[in-house]
Amino acid sequence: MHYNTLSEIKKGLKNIKLKKGSSCFLHTSIMHLGFIKDVPVKDIPKKIFDLIFSEIGKNGTISALTPYYDYGLKNKKFEINKSPISKEVGAMSSFIKNHKNSSRSMNPLFNISSVGKKAKFITNEKTPMAFGVDSAWDQMFKLNSDMIFLGCDMSVCTFIRYIEFRFGVPYLFNKHFNKEICRNNKVVSNYSSSPVRYPYFDVIYNTSKFQKILIKNKNMRVYKNKNLKIMAIDMKSCFDIGIEELKKSVFFFLKKKPKYKKNLNPLA
């Protein structure tokens, strides 16, 4: 495991040119960031949070993915204020969700927690659709939020689902979940809807080619340091290029075309 310093991370964040007052969506792998000198592991999320806010200022906003997968997997109701986040998304998401000024969106599976000036604008949506009009993801898109990748790459980019949803790719379908969503013990919706994979064929993603295109076109801002991976791209650029590539090949984000089965939707 390698070591980094807070000053090096701060330098990297300055290098990707975050704007004052901007909305940022954060993907973080603390494990791949490595140890940070003189910072206990438990304190790393707060230090990163503070460093980003020092770049975007008091009028900025930080958001992260904070899903509750048991809603879909175990048919459990979603309590917006109480349901824990799924462990797969890591410590940074947990820190943002549990922040005293955090607000959380409605859709359980593609849930967003936000802190900052635009937090309410992002999360107080009225639709239980994951990526529909005025969803939390749609609100972040309207703000042209910057996606920041710390210690990780485009393989964890959830915004690709938003692009796929808007384009209408044939290997995902919009699943309706008949389970309550509650806020402050009051039911705010009796259902939700999220894009999921068809269960009878393998969908294997490969986003490396997308990342290469974004870097080559200089849309992706990359901090060049072999021991510290930091990248950023705004949602509009990511969306526009993703849509153009899907027009060329509807399976652009996949490693290979799925094996469709005769007489089962979607038909080949």
For the stretch 96-125, pLDDT in tens is 999 999 999 999 999 999 999 999 999 999
> Which residues make Cβ contacts (< 8 Å) with residue 57, sequence separation at least 6?
20, 21
Cβ-contact 152, 32 below 8 angstroms: yes
Spatial neighbors of 20 by CB under 8 A, at least 6 apart, are 55, 56, 57, 59, 60
Rounded mean pLDDT, 222-230: 92
Q: What is the mean pLDDT of residues 199-209?
A: 89
Helix 6-15 with 44-56: angle, nearest 10 deg = 40
